[in-house]
Structure 1
């Protein structure tokens, strides 16, 4: 059975949606957490989808935010350098190719350097528009990044479809007033409007003033 959604723009998360960086993300975060005696499961439930400084603030609520910002920058530098094992999510290259003449953007909690490193490691093309950590004041689950992307594209949020894997990202898309398609095994628990195991289940077909997203 095929589900069809009409849209005028697609907004794509990166980690867990376009690229699989789980191994390196979890390894670096667990290394960071060990000296603080933090529970492994709590750390892994917290860090996905958010900017690092916000994850640190949640995990260590009494700590000086300045320290979080400094450690987050060091974490980003390491993540940008350590890309072994980063690969494309199945269907990501084909999806980006099908969107090349349609309004779309990456909306990621990574900074430009990390986005460029991971997309390059996964051999995926960068989008013309990318809303990265440098461009927002609030991390996901705040909807700012998605709303900024819609504004930059000149598309009403209600006509945008978001592809996301994490709880923070799915919440951000929903709160932005957009249709959210959850990607991957964990996405259904965060109540996206639709769900796919990976991006091979997605087809983009031009239609009228926009296009159809067909979910198989």
Structure 2
């Protein structure tokens, strides 16, 4: 008998695991949107529709929506709203299991959220704080620029690439430009939107498993969407 799942499985040797946060590790998109729409109503502006709203830093979006002189105060207010979500934040399917399987020094979070916001959301969702957290505060150029993922890479060597997990086109473009294998996760965007920018697209993180070799090598096995 032919094992259909085995035929579909992709396996890579990787140097490390890099994860976006909102919509990748955490079911927090509703909380993100609630904070942003409340902020936009206070500012008297309209948030752009569609997936392009996600995966960008607050600085980037605010600069596109309000006059420059209002940005510092507006970002402080947005940070207040984002740090106190009124919508539940929970781990996405497979997230905790995958993080537990990866050696703690070999995974990082690369998020567009501000650092205090990221720490608040990780705590709310029960995700441990990684040894490396790259936030929107830590980079001059946010996703889709490669800078965020370049800041997250620590172990790439000898042609063995990091693998990055992302739920947005902007994030996938950033990861690929930084030299990562890019894995899309359906939710914020559709599989059709993610596929042109990803090496594989998964329904959830439950379709990713980790094998740690006796020599410390890492392999990831993926069951992608057809």
Q: Same fold (TM over 0.5)?
A: yes
Q: Secondary structure at the match of 1:162?
A: strand
Written as runs of structure 1 = structure 2, the 5 A alignment for 1:74-93 is 74-82=77-85, 84-93=87-96
Structure with max Cα Rg: 2
Matched, 1:104 2:107: yes
Q: Secondary structure at the match of 2:97?
A: helix
**Per the alignment, do residues 162 and 115 of structure 1 end up closer, same or farther by CA in structure 2, a change over 3 Å counting?**
same
Structure 2 partner of 1:165: 167
RMSD between aligned residues: 2.1
Partner of 2:143, secondary structure, is: coil
Deviations 1:105-143 (CA, angstroms, capped at 9, x unpaired)? 111112222112111111111111111122211111111
Check conservation: 1:83, 1:117, Cα contact below 8 A. Answer: no
Give SS of 2:56's match.
coil
In structure 2, the partner of 1:113 is 116
Q: Which residue of structure 2 aligns with residue 68 of structure 1? A: 71
Runs of 5+ unmatched residues, structure 2: 1-7
**Equivalent residues, number:** 209
TM-score for the superposition, normalised by structure 1: 0.87
- CA-CA distance at 1:59 after TM superposition: 3.8
Whether the 8 Å CA contact 2:208–2:222 is kept in 1: the answer is yes
Q: 1:45 aligns with which of 48, 51, 54?
A: 51
Pairwise CA distance, 1:70: 2.8
Note if 1:56 corresponds to 2:57. Answer: no
Q: 1:24 aligns with which of 21, 31, 34?
A: 31
Q: Gaps (5+ residues) in structure 1?
A: none
Q: Deviations over 1:163-197 (max 9, x none)?
A: 00012111111111211000123153132110111
On the 8 A contact 2:58/2:114 being kept in 1, the answer is: no
Matched, 1:36 2:61: no
> Cα 1:20–1:117, aligned 2, differ >3 Å: closer, same or farther?
same
C-alpha distance in 1, partners of 2:210/2:166? 17
